[in-house]
Amino acid sequence: MLDNPVRVLNSSILQLMKELYTAVLEGKAKEAKAITEKALAEGANPQKLVDEAMIPAMAEVGRRFEANEYFVPELLISARAMKAALEPIRPLLVKSGVKPVGRVAIGTVKGDLHDIGKNLVGAMLEGGGFEVVDLGVDVSSDKFIAAVKEKGVNLVALSALLTTTMPSMKSTIEGMKAQGVRENVKVIIGGAPVTQQYAEEIGADGYADNASSAVTVAKKVLGA
């Protein structure tokens, strides 16, 4: 008897997801991108590829780094592989032609160069109907404040991956107060070391621990 075609398709996608996990973990950028393209062509859900293959691979990279099995060069090549794999996915997360829910300025705070999570959140916000102004990495509080003053944003999204750069979130919010623009915008924060408790402590309006809930929180704080 012939195999059930649905089961064959699913098992092939599952196999590709395993291969994608390994390619990101081992920092094989070209392979990671090619596997992603193949999985998409076979009907894989783009969000699932991110959540169940790429992010777990980066988590394992972090674990190996902590265990002194990986060092900065390995982090870099894995990050590059994740970025390459995200290329074909990004346009699929982004809907076009819808009226923007709001305009958000997103950036990784001063002193911090991690941008994979920030980019994912940015892409998901775009997919959720936001207009996104990406300020990049190592963004000073002055730059965030300038975006509020000059770019008409009504939401600021701050990302930090280092415990040492989390205080930049606090100083950005304080800078907004000092310059009289805090009332004009909502602020949401996130990144691996950030917590709901920290968000409350520094007076942010919202916190999320992943890119999908970032969209829900963004809409909630804006009452959209």
Q: ∠ CA(65), CA(67), CA(72), 5° rounding?
A: 20
Least CB distance to ligand B12 at residue 58 (A): 4
- Distance of alpha carbon 90 from its chain centroid, rounded? 11
CA distance 110 to 75: 20
Q: Of these, 34, 94, 162, 181, which contacts ligand B12 (CB under 6 A)?
A: 162
Q: Of these, 9, 41, 59, 178, which contacts ligand B12 (CB under 6 A)?
A: 59
Least CB distance to ligand B12 at residue 103 (A): 15
The continuous run of DSSP H or E covering 216 comes out as helix 211-221
Q: Please report whether residue 171 would count as binding ligand B12 according to CB under 6 A.
A: no
Q: Please report whether residue 33 would count as binding ligand B12 according to CB under 6 A.
A: no
- Distance of alpha carbon 150 from its chain centroid, rounded? 24
**39/107 with CB nearer ligand B12:** 107
**10/52 with CB nearer ligand B12:** 52
DSSP code string of 52-118: IIIHHHHHHHHHHHHTTSS-HHHHHHHHHHHHHHHTTTHHHH---SSPPS-EEEEEEETT----HHH
**39/165 with CB nearer ligand B12:** 165
Least CB distance to ligand B12 at residue 107 (A): 9
Least CB distance to ligand B12 at residue 4 (A): 33
Q: Of these, 84, 189, 199, 221, which contacts ligand B12 (CB under 6 A)?
A: 189
Three-class SS state of 1: coil
Site for ligand B12 in 94-133 (CB under 6 A): 111-118, 120-121
CA distance 66 to 166: 19
Q: Please report whether residue 168 would count as binding ligand B12 according to CB under 6 A.
A: no
Is the Cα dihedral 117, 120, 122, 125 positive or negative?
negative
CA distance 218 to 207: 9
Least CB distance to ligand B12 at residue 78 (A): 6
Question: Can you give the binding site for ligand B12, defined by CB under 6 A?
Answer: 55, 58-59, 61-62, 65-66, 72, 75-76, 79, 111-118, 120-121, 157-159, 161-164, 188-193, 208-211, 214
